[in-house]
Structure formats: structure tokens, C-alpha cells
Amino acid sequence: MEKKVILSGIQATGDLHLGHYIGVLKRFVEMQDEFDCYYMIANLHALTVRRDPKELKENVYKLLASYIAAGLDPDKSTIFLQSQVHEHAELGWVLDCYTYMGELSRMTQYKDKSAKHADNINAGLFTYPSLMAGDILLYQADLVPTGEDQKQHVELTRDLAERFNKLYGETFKIPKPFIEKVGARVMGLQDPTSKMSKSSTLPNDTILLIDTPEEIMKKVKKAVTDSDGIVKYDEENKPGISNLMEIYGIITSKTMDEIENEFEGQGYGNFKVAVADAIIKELEPFRNKYNELMANPSYLEEIYNKGAKKASEVASKTLKDVYEKIGIIR
Ligand code: TYM
């Protein structure tokens, strides 16, 4: 039987944090053997916020080094830059013309980001989900692994694919969001009611994958919890503890019940140290490999160039079919 196709990506916006790692990167690695995986570096999407050009280039290298350091294998997965495969921008435009303003204005991420960047609410920020739909549909993806916050975009992608197929006949595979129950929304350590994010302004809220062991220990020890002293999973009433439990659970492959039993009657001190130790141990090989890779940019270039070649072959087939169906000559 043919392997199912996976497509996903991360924006090239700087250093990755633990939310990226737990929410998707660790999953990407786990999926490599079972699926035909396409993992993209979304650098065109990164343009929706004003960026320093030099930094944007550097972020691509950082993200690619993170992919490989986390365990993605370029011989198993197709790893490439969104900007290297021009079909992304082209299909993105086509899909813009099949997406309604009403649909885009309902996107929570658009609402959040336009509130955050009130001085630069550009059209790209608004049409961003159509470009993302193009990313997914070009590869006829079956499954799209993401964190919880991208679910709405994948659902819109399904609607667009169905709309297009209805008008022009079977063209796109209808993709499914692939979102795990645990870890799909890692919360900030200082504000466990908001998702962990690079743009958090609270100190110690976000653990970066390149943080030192000391920084990780300090941040976890300072994590906001509650006053009842019981390690128990209860997202609504104990968001801080529940978040730490999810992080610990994903890293150690323990269930929430097992974690509750492990720390029964121990208070939060021991638990926090165990969580920090688990993160530190998990990220140590990552950090070493990451530093090695960042010192070898030509190896990283080799990886993305090889990936782009394979990705282009698939993407060009889909776009050719789309253009033929809608009457675009090229
Ligand atoms: P981005 O770059 O914001 O985030 C990349 C992925 O990481 C997940 N994520 C989290 N998961 C759990 N907890 C968190 N705190 C957390 N923060 C981020 C996100 O849900 C996402 O899956 N538009 C996408 C990038 C993209 C894409 C695509 C994804 C472009 N084209 C095609 C899938 C398919 C984005 O901005 O993700």
C-alpha cells in the first residue's frame, strides 16, 4: 500500500520554543518512517510581519538546523524552503480567488495578529490561510500535523479543496488535520492561559530549544502554578500544573494518570525539578547537534536544495492540472 502523505511547516521566525518542539517537531520525527513526509520552511509566510532581510535568511538556517537536530532525516523526509518551489506562490494566488473575504475574516489567527501588529495589517496577513492551503494541496497531503492553533486553517483548506473539486472535478485530495490530544497547545510558563509563543513579553514565559540547562531549570522553577499542592491534571482549574504535566508526559511517554501517581503527596518542588530535568535531558543532544549544524551552512544548503528538487516535481504536477482546469496558459 502507498504511504500516506504528510505536509507541514514552521514559519522562519527565529529560535524555536518548546511549544514547537512538543506540539509538532517531535511528531514530525515520529512520522518519518510510516508516512511520505514533506516538511517545509515557511519563509514566505514570515513576510506578513516586517523583518530584517538578513535575519530572515538566518532564520531559515536556524529552522533547518532545528529540524535536523530534532531528528528529521533528509533521506527519509523531503525538507525544503517554501520560496524554492514557486508553485506555492502561484497556487496561493489562485486559491485567493476562491476564498471569500468572510472566511478569512473569521480566522482567529488573523484577528489576534492584526491586534498585535495594528500598525501593519497588510493584505498578506489576511490572505495567509490561502497560501497555507496551497502549501498543503500541492502535495495532495492526507494529513497535516499541527498544533491546535492551526486547525482552523486546515479546515479552511478542506473547504477550498472541496469547492475547487466541485467546480472542476477531482483535483485535490481533501486533507485532514492531525492534532494530538496532549501537547497540541503548550502554554506559557508565566501565563498558562495563553499559548507559549516567541512574542510573549513576559520574562521566563517561553523555553527556547537553545536555552542552557540553567535557564531551563530557572524558568520551570518559576512557572506559575496554584496553591493546592497536588499534581493533578485539571486544565480548567490548574492550568499551570496541567501544562507542565503535558510537557513531562510527552517527553517521558507517561500518561497523566501515571504522572499523578508518580508525584502523589510530594508537592510541586520535586515535580518541577523532574520536569526541568526531563526537558534538559531531552534537549541536550538537540543543542549539541544544532550548534554543529549551524557551523556547517553548506551542508544545510545541500539538504534544502535536494528537498526542493523532489518537492518541485510533485508541486508542478498539481499546479499543471489546476492551470489546465481553470484555463491558464503557461
Ligand atoms: P507556526 O510557525 O506559528 O508554528 C509551527 C507549528 O507549531 C505549532 N505551535 C505550537 N504547538 C503547541 N503549542 C504551542 N505553544 C505552539 N506554538 C506553535 C503550530 O500549531 C504549528 O503547527 N501557518 C503555519 C506554518 C505553515 C504551515 C503550512 C503549517 C505554513 N504552511 C502548511 C502546516 C501546513 C504557522 O504559522 O505555524
CATH of the domain at 87: 3.40.50.620
Q: Which residues pair with 7 in a beta bridge?
A: 38
CB distance 135 to ligand 1 below 6 Å: yes
Report the catalytic residues: 113, 195, 198
Average pLDDT estimate for 137-152: 98
What stretches of the chain show up as alpha helix (H) in DSSP? 18-20, 26-31, 53-70, 87-96, 101-105, 108-116, 123-138, 151-168, 213-221, 239-252, 256-262, 267-294, 297-326
Question: Does ligand 1 lie within 6 Å of residue 129's CB atom?
Answer: no
Mean pLDDT (the chain) is: 97
What are phi and psi for residue 33, nearest 5 degrees? Answer: -80, -35
CA of 28 relative to ligand 1 center, distance in Å:
12
Dihedral sign of CA atoms 42, 175, 88, 49 in order:
negative
* Residue-level pLDDT at 179: 97
Instruction: Tell me: pLDDT of 116 over 90.
Output: no
C-alpha cell read off for 208: 527556547
Ligand 1: residue whose CA is nearest its atom 33: 8
Say if residues 306 and 156 touch (Cβ distance below 8 Å): no
CA distance 128 to 84: 18
* CB 243 less than 6 A from any atom of ligand 1: no
Do the domain assignments include residue 277?
A: no
Share of the chain above pLDDT 70, in %: 100
Helix (H, G, I), strand (E, B) or coil at 41: strand
Protein residue with its CA nearest to atom 27 in ligand 1: 9
Q: What is the mean pLDDT of residues 118-122?
A: 93
Enter the C-alpha cell of residue 273. 525539578
Domain count, the chain: 1
Confidence (pLDDT) at 220: 98
Residue 149 near residue 167 (C-beta atoms within 8 A): no
Q: What is the pLDDT of residue 27?
A: 95
Residue 278 CB partners (closer than 8 Å, separation 6+)? 247, 248, 251, 252
pLDDT band for 12, please (50, 70, 90 cuts): very high
pTM flag (> 0.85): yes
Pairing of strands 36-42, 78-81: parallel
Domain contains 212: no
Its domain, for residue 80, covers 5-183+297-326
Q: What spacing in Å lies between the alpha carbon of 227 and ligand 1's midpoint?
A: 33
Of 187, 189, 164, 186, the C-alpha closest to 175 is 164
In whole angstroms, give the CA distance from residue 165 to residue 159. 10
Which one, of 222, 295, 305, lies nearest residue 62 by Cα? 295
CA of 147 to the centre of ligand 1 (A): 6
Is 146 touching ligand 1 by the criterion CB < 6 Å? yes
- pLDDT-based confidence at residue 290 (cuts at 50, 70, 90): very high
Share of the chain above pLDDT 90, in %: 96
Coil, helix or strand for 260? Answer: helix
**39 alpha carbon – ligand 1 mean position (Å):** 12
Q: Is the CB of 247 under 6 A from ligand 1?
A: no
Q: Which ligand 1 atom is nearest residue 184's CA?
A: 12
Residues 201-215, mean pLDDT to the nearest whole number = 96
Asked whether residue 143 is domain-assigned, the answer is yes
pLDDT at residue 94, rounded to an integer: 98
Q: Is the pLDDT of residue 117 over 90?
A: no
- Domain assignment present for residue 205? The answer is no
Domain membership of residue 289 (yes or no) is: no
Compute the distance from residue 265 Cα to the ligand 1 centre, in Å: 37
Assess whether pLDDT exceeds 90 at residue 246: yes
Q: Report the relative pairing of strands 176-178 and 36-42 from DSSP bridges.
A: unpaired
Nearest protein CA to atom 4 of ligand 1, as residue: 10
pLDDT band at 1 (very low <50, low <70, confident <90, very high): confident
Kindly report, residue by residue over 147-200, the tens digit of the pLDDT: 999 999 999 999 999 999 999 999 999 999 999 988 999 999 999 999 999 888
279: which 3 cell numbers? Answer: 526537558
Q: Which of 7, 10, 18, 90 is nearest to 42 (CA)?
A: 10
State if residue 307 touches ligand 1 by the CB under 6 angstroms criterion: no
Mean pLDDT over 42-63 rounds to 97
Distance (angstroms) between ligand 1 centre and the Cα of 155 equals 14
Looking at the domain assignment, is residue 200 inside a domain? Answer: no
Find out whether the beta carbon of 150 lies less than 6 Å from any atom of ligand 1: yes
